[in-house]
Chain A
Amino acid sequence: MEAESEHRMTERGAWIPAAAALAGMLLAGCAAAPSRVDPLEPMNRALYEVHDVVDTNVVKPFVQGYVNVIPLPIRRTVSNVFNNIDDLFSAINDALQGKPDKFADDMARVVLNTSFGIGGIFDIATEAGIARGDEDFGQTFGVWGFGQGPYLFVPLFGPTTVRDGTGVILRIAVGPVGYVPDVPVRNALYGVAAIDQRSQLLGTGQLVDTAAIDRYLFIRNAYLQRRRYLVYDGAPPPEPEEE
């Protein structure tokens, strides 16, 4: 979702060839079965340096300002509305992965929050004890057996892999923000979505600064562990031994 901020000037249609190209890379990545998770490390490290400078000096102060100025109830409302849309896509991915129980939960969330929660402003489904499914296209590709492909660090977006990045692009391409006809409104929505996403990670950055010996590696490994955990719905098999 954070990626959407970078693409605010891009026409929606331009995504389709890009998605197709990345999907091609995804398949190629699987065929080659790379032994290492990060064959592009030199490039990724350079991109991470760029990201870090921009994020520290521009993005983070701006997002911190958003958190300081906008009261929590309003920020939570913003998160809820975007989460409600994500829940719909989570339900779609539950279906694509053949998980009827999670599909039922996610659909119940969307129906409850859209109706009684007034378009997703209130997350009454969580209060009712229905947990978010948290599925996305990247996880669906994983469940279908696609390898994650090379790890990628995308400035302003953050850590991803060829597989997960393809999922994100597909997600942006299918909407719904892309269908907003008014371009400034659409771009504003992308912007708010990106700020909302980044604001959730403010505390995490502090933790990484203290805990990491090498922040690039710390973030990469945390991302890859987290994605693996999500693909296996919280019960990943033991890690295969390397070397």
Chain B
Amino acid sequence: MAAIALAAWRRAALALSAGALLAGAAPALAQEAPDAMVKRVAQEVLAIIRSDPAVQAGNEARIREVLETKLLPNFDFGRMTALAMGKNWRAATPEQQKRLTDEFRGLLVRTYSGALNQYRNETIEYKPLRMNPGDTEVMVRTLVVRASGVPVQIDYGMEKKADAWKCHDVVVAGVSLVTNYRDEFNEQVKSGGVDGLIKTIADRNRGVAAK
């Protein structure tokens, strides 16, 4: 009897874990909604920030690891760079586009990792998503409520890709990240060409201060 009961229990457990696996895989199959994705990623990252002592101590390697594994796969850096470049994007060769995207990604990651360990007691409110069926571009709106100071509206510009929604713009209190870089990129391209711009960002990433 005991053996049968055990076998039954095992089967149930197996069925349960298979169900859990399927549930876990479901977002990939049915494609997770953009607002649900932002919420999931934000909660995952916040949970790590709040509980991980290395992140709280400002351990850069660990912060970088959290960003690389949890946050950055959800961004479309190519689109981000193209938007920041504006009309200059088409003037760049594919090879320049790739180098520029890599360096710009590096700049954004450094900016984020500097800011990341400052967040701890924040809570995020998610505003209702305004989206029509079939939309491939959407803005996910959130409000970050801080223990000290005024709440900050942070919106994510998202695009539907083949496998998942990807973020190509972060708008903080009305300031779009990619739009903000447009003049800086343009100025650099005007004075030193696309290679000049790539070199400037690369220098910044290697610790040369901005002018």
Contact = CB atoms under 8 A, between A and B. Distances in A.
A12 B54 CA distance: 53
A72 B148 contact: yes
Interface residues of A, number: 29
Given A213-B204, A221-B180, A76 B148 contact: yes
A234 B211 contact: no
Contacts of A209: 209-210
A99 interface: no
Interface in B19-47: none
A210 interface: yes
Contacts of B173: 226, 229
B180 A236 contact: no
A226 B171 CA distance: 10
Interface residues of B, number: 32
Nearest to A212: B210
Contacts of B118: 203
Interface stretch (B4-12, B70-78, B89-97, B181-189): B181-189
Given A200-B149, A215-B210, A225 B175 contact: yes
Given A217-B184, A221-B179, A221-B183, A211 B174 contact: no
A214 B184 contact: yes
Contact of B114 (A207, A220, A228, A239): A207
Interface of B: 87, 107-108, 110-111, 114-115, 118, 148-151, 153, 173-176, 179-185, 187-188, 200-201, 204, 209-211
The 7 A-B pairs with the shortest beta carbon distances in the complex, nearest first, are A229-B174, A211-B111, A213-B184, A225-B175, A221-B180, A210-B111, A222-B175
